[in-house]
Each structure stands twice: as structure tokens, then as C-alpha cells.
Structure 1
Amino acid sequence: MSVDSTDLVELDRTDDLLEVRLNRPDKLNALNPELIEGLHEAFTAVADERGLGIVITGAGRVTCAGMDTEIVSGDYGEYPDLHATLQEVYQLIETHPGPVAIAGRGALVGAGAIISLSCEFVVLSEDATFAIPEVKYDIASARAADRLPDVVGPRAAAELLLTGEEIDPERARSLGLATDVVPSDAVEDRARELVATVGDHDPETIAELIELLNGGADT
């Protein structure tokens, strides 16, 4: 199965790497239904490609500012399938049988930060903002509440989710939310480098390890 780029999701494919670029820079790559559907199609198309490395990034100065504020501030009921589709995107990223890195330039906020929780590698720029501010919009993110305690521990997870306040890149790294922090112009290269290092290993072994990391073992 193959999928082409869309207006809001650009794809650049080589034999061993897929780059997925959010392409809504005028809105800081905030997610809307079309962009979420584009991500869903892109990750569904490669769901069986064991060992394929993926780098998620964004056009412009910000990788992802979260969900479009017109959606989170308005009537969510106008988008009946949006929540379910976004949850499937998180799951597709998490279970992809190859390494997924996100290049966080400028900001990973809200849904962008939650996407990063599904990735094996998270590279942040030195000027990046990391935050999960859903509580400020009266939204309780079940996905973040489920994943964050395993990454940062219950106390830091409570701080991030209950205050909704941003943290700086170095604190994100100290908490285990970021793999590396680099200058803004080096974020994508560092993400590619991490994925390429994994690509040196057996694809079947990598796929098995990712499944184990996601709780796929009985013991």
C-alpha cells in the first residue's frame, strides 16, 4: 500500500526512511481534521513495513502547536470522528515496527507533545516549548495520563497535566521526554541520525524490540 503527499502532509520516501512533514506553517502546524486524516493515511500505509524508519517534522518554525484552537475552543461535537481518528494516529505511531523520531523545532504542544510520547526518539530544539495544556481547555487527555507516568513518574506527570504549563527543553530531557536537545537548525539532522543508527540493525529484531517496549511480552 502506498500513499501520496497531501496539501497538509508532505511525504519524502527513500528505501529505508520516510519523512512525514506537517505542512500548515501559517497555523504553526496545528492539527485539524484534514491534517489528522493525512497522518492516519501515511502511517496506515507503512504499518507493515518492519524496520522502516520515520521522521516526523513540520514546515516553518514550529513542528506542532497542538490541536487547532478553533476546535478545542469550540464545539468538539462538530467533529464526531476526530477524537477516534487521532487516537488511532497515536496508536499507529506507537506500534509502527520501525523507529519513529520526531524533530521538535520551536514547539511540541498539546497533541504535538502527545504524539511525541508515541515515538522512540524525540529531538527538541534549544528554543522549543513542550507543554500539554489540554486542562486549560477543559479537556482531560486520557492518552497523556496513561503514557506520561511511565515516562516521567507520577509527580511530574501530575504537574504537567494538572497545570498545563510549559517546560523548557533541558527539563524535558532531564525528565526523559526528550532524547536530545540541539540547535534549531540541527533538529532534523539529529532525528535522521538517530533513526539511521537503528537502521544498521536487523529489521525483524528492531520490530520485535519495539513490540516488547510497548508491552508485547507476557513476562
Structure 2
Amino acid sequence: MNDGVRIEIDPKTGIGTILLDRPDQRNPLSTNMMRAVTTTLRDMADDERVRVVVLRASGPVFSAGHDLSEMIDRTIEDERVVFDVCTEMMDTVQAIPQPVIAAVQGPAIAAGCQLAASCDLVVASKAAVFGTPGVRIGLFCSTPMVAVTRAVGRKRAMQMLLTGETIDADTAADWGLVNIVVAPEDLESRTRELAVKIAASSPLTLAIGKQAFYRQIDLPQDEAYKLMAETMAANAVTCDAQEGMTAFLEKRTPVWKNE
């Protein structure tokens, strides 16, 4: 794509890769790039070859955040477009049926940190750092705050937001922003290993589970149990669930039909 996004689909593994590819500019999330990512995510959502999506970036920086050149001397209507496009992209990451794994090789800053936090899973290189430093340039990271707070909790999010300081990959893992921290040279292989493991499950079951997770996460416990009991009952009568349970009892590998 000419919007700073490259795409690769491996039908053998079921992995679809989205690559942010403006390394010379530190992969800024311009409106064109964000729209391209959103469109690609939706295309992959409808592609039966794709069971897991990996979001990567080229160069030493995952993403430095919004393209600030788009935000100088603009009207409030123009600024709203930037953040509406951003919100749509973040929502789409969680709305598509396939799990999305961020492979973070370097700094993920401001909206770049938001993008990583919005992904279902994050594998980070030890060279990665995460931060929401907008306060230092007079633009509080209010939209990144939504995703980051849900990942790390109130006090830790406020620390990042108010100080603008970055945290390293190990701290990000300890705080719940990152799942796995690896040596830089192992990032690609470890991410692929995780994606392949996930892709081995029924696509339908993964889609049901991902949607259910985000539906229940902020509900009171009694409402969550009620909704999830019904979700699990509906899941249990699908062909793939019946096949999976039967295969387990028969001690064989299940054959998924995605139905």
C-alpha cells in the first residue's frame, strides 16, 4: 500500500501480517495510515485464510504516535477527524473476529502505545519502551489513556500520563501492558510461535471467545455470568465445539469446520 502499510498473508499458518512501514518517519499514525490499517483489518476479518493477525512495524520504532504535522493550524473539526479515525482503528482491532497480536520491537509512544494496548496480546522486545508523553507538548494523551488505563489500571496509567515518562518492556509486562518479553532477535520467531499456537484452534471458537471477552470485561459480575452462561451454551452446540469435545473423548485431533 502507498499509505505506509504492507500486508502479508500466509495461508499455511493462517497468519495475516500488517506492517507499519514508514520507518524513516518513526511510523507516525497519520490519518491515511490509520485508515489503511482499519481497512486491512476489516479485509482480513472476512478472509477465511486468516486466523490470527500480527501487527508489526519496520525500523527501530514501533510507532511514535500521531503525525503532529496534521495537527498544526487546523480547526477543531479537522482535529476531530484525526481522533475519530484513530478511535475507529482501535475499535476495529478489538471488533474483528481474529485475535490481534502486536509485535513491538521498539518505542511505542502516545497513540503508538495506545495501538499496542488495544491489541489482544503484545509480544515485546527488550528494546521496546512504552509511554504517553503528550503532557510534555501540551497535548494530554486522553485517547491513549482509554486503552492504557484498561491494561495497567488507574494509578499506573496516571503515573505514565502525568509524568510522560516511558516504561521499559519488563515493567510493561509487570504492569499488564505486555504479555511476553523476548530478546530482540527472538521477537519474530516468538510472535510467530504464539500466533501458530492460537491459529490451531477453531476460528469460530476464537471469534466467539474474543467477542465474549470484550462484552463481559466491564460488566458487574452477576451480569457477566448471566451473559457468558448463555454465550457458552450457544458455543457448546456449534459443530466445532461438538467436534472438539468428541475428539477429546476419542483421543484424536479435531477437524474444524468453522461452523
Q: Find the aligned partners of 1:23 and 1:46 in 2 and give their Cα distance.
A: 18
Q: Does 1:23 align with 2:21?
A: yes
Identity %: 27
Instruction: Tell me which residue corresponds to 1:96.
Output: 96
Q: Find the aligned partners of 2:35 and 2:145 in 1 and give their Cα distance.
A: 24
Greater gyration radius: 2
Cα pair 2:3 2:32 within 8 Å, conserved: no
- SS at structure 2 position matched to 1:101: strand
Do the aligned partners of residues 149 and 111 (structure 1) sit closer, same or farther apart at CA in structure 2, a change above 3 Å counting? closer
**After the TM superposition, which of the residue ranges 160-169 and 148-157 deviates more from structure 2?**
148-157
The CA deviation at 1:35 is 1.2
Instruction: Tell me which residue corresponds to 1:8.
Output: 4
Instruction: Tell me which residue corresponds to 1:155.
Output: 155
Cα pair 2:26 2:62 within 8 Å, conserved: yes
Q: Deviations over 1:137-168 (max 9, x none)?
A: 33344443333333222111111122221011
Q: Find the aligned partners of 2:61 and 2:87 in 1 and give their Cα distance.
A: 22
Aligned-partner residue type, residue 26 of structure 2 = L
Instruction: Tell me which residue corresponds to 1:42.
Output: 40
Instruction: Tell me which residue corresponds to 2:247.
Output: none
Q: What TM-score comes out, normalization by structure 2 length? A: 0.76
Aligned-partner residue type, residue 84 of structure 1 = D
Q: Find the aligned partners of 2:106 and 2:74 in 1 and give their Cα distance.
A: 27
1:64-83 alignment to 2 at 5 Å? 64-72=63-71, 74-77=72-75, 78=78, 80-83=80-83
Q: Find the aligned partners of 1:187 and 1:121 in 2 and give their Cα distance.
A: 13
Aligned-partner residue type, residue 4 of structure 2 = L
Count of matched residue positions in the alignment of Structure 1 and Structure 2: 214
**After the TM superposition, which of the residue ranges 113-122 and 128-137 deviates more from structure 2?**
128-137
Q: Find the aligned partners of 1:185 and 1:94 in 2 and give their Cα distance.
A: 28
Cα pair 2:123 2:179 within 8 Å, conserved: yes
Instruction: Tell me which residue corresponds to 1:63.
Output: 62
Q: Deviations over 1:34-68 (max 9, x none)?
A: 21121121112223457721111111122211112
1:63-212 alignment to 2 at 5 Å? 63-72=62-71, 74-77=72-75, 78=78, 80-212=80-212
Do the aligned partners of residues 184 and 136 (structure 1) sit closer, same or farther apart at CA in structure 2, a change above 3 Å counting? same
Q: Find the aligned partners of 1:208 and 1:139 in 2 and give their Cα distance.
A: 38
Do the aligned partners of residues 148 and 63 (structure 1) sit closer, same or farther apart at CA in structure 2, a change above 3 Å counting? closer
Q: When you count helix as a share of all residues, which structure comes out higher?
A: 2
The CA deviation at 1:76 is 4.8
The CA deviation at 1:80 is 4.9
Unaligned ranges ≥5, structure 2 = 217-223, 229-259
Q: Find the aligned partners of 1:8 and 1:148 in 2 and give their Cα distance.
A: 25
Cα pair 1:6 1:38 within 8 Å, conserved: no
Q: Find the aligned partners of 1:114 and 1:10 in 2 and give their Cα distance.
A: 20
Cα pair 2:61 2:105 within 8 Å, conserved: yes
Q: Find the aligned partners of 1:180 and 1:172 in 2 and give their Cα distance.
A: 10
Aligned-partner residue type, residue 127 of structure 1 = A
